Amino acid sequence: KQLPVSDLRRKLNMQALRSSQGSLLGRPRPCTSRLVSHQVARRSSIVCSAAAPMKKVEAEQDVPGMSKFLDTLKYDKNGLVAVIVQHIDTGEVMMQAYADRAAISETLQTGLATFYSRSRNGRWCKGETSGHFINVHRLFADCDRDSLIYLSDPIGPACHTGARTCWFSEASLDAGHHVHTEGEHTHSDHVPMTTLLALERTIQQRRDALAQPTEGKPSWTARLLSNPELLCKKVREEAGELCQTLEAGEGGERAASEMADLLYHSMVLLNLQGVKMEEVMRVLRKRFGTSGVEEKAARPPKQSS
């Protein structure tokens, strides 16, 4: 029997979740199937559906240090703190929600973003309905102790609209001192992005424009996208110039400039191969704590052409 698309997506997301999920309680992040032996259930008999066959989360008082940490937070009159979900690899701000003590405790124990839903008046494990779970790798409290950051790796879009992030509407003041807003959930033109992601978006826009007739000279990015030989030549050239800044003692400012050139040209090359910076960042993150020599030795051999 063929599964509906929504059920198939949730099943695939569950498989991805089980291969990457872990607890935040100071332990290595094992896969979900290995996590069942310790602290993976929650405050009541309800089990987060993402965690099957997980056990119940331990009660707050049964987790060493949990109550002490939760007591340091400043809750509002409803017993909640604000939570920002930030992407661990791209730095994007994905969504905001609220959490009570139990939701924070569950998040720390399961590594799944869990909140208190004010509209539902109860616990909300993001992804139980949609399949768009959020793997929380680290949790941070702000200086006033009244808000948290879940540093996370989301599975699928974070926004209920289907957008990658909940922030896609931008307000600005025009030359006539009128405030206007732009942005829709269907595109990322007005999504707040870090510098590298904004550059990546611009490169993609240049590539999309290649399909449209234009007048005048093409942009440099368009020329590179249309000429892989020139592009590879420039990447090699910029890499050499970066090395020269060290060899010739040209200083930090020059090194930063040459690195910017190398990054730009390399990102154009990645665009041609359909590789996003998020994938590069994820590869780098997975190498943390691993010997560079060992990591390189463990790579599969390159396939001969």
Mean pLDDT of 89-117: 97
Identify the band that residue 18 occupies on the pLDDT scale cut at 50, 70 and 90. low
Q: Are strands 81-87 and 179-182 parallel, antiparallel or unpaired?
A: unpaired
Question: What pLDDT was estimated at residue 61?
Answer: 96
Lowest-confidence segment of 43-52, 222-231, 259-268 by average pLDDT? 43-52
pTM of the model: 0.79
Question: What pLDDT was estimated at residue 293?
Answer: 79
Q: What share of the chain is helix, strand, coil (3-state, %, to 5)?
A: 40, 15, 45
Question: What pLDDT was estimated at residue 33?
Answer: 31
Question: What pLDDT was estimated at residue 9?
Answer: 54
Taking alpha carbons only, the member of 98, 41, 97, 109 closest to residue 69 is 109
State the DSSP code for 51.
G
Neighbours of 135 (CB within 10 A): 23
Q: Is the pLDDT of residue 241 over 80?
A: yes
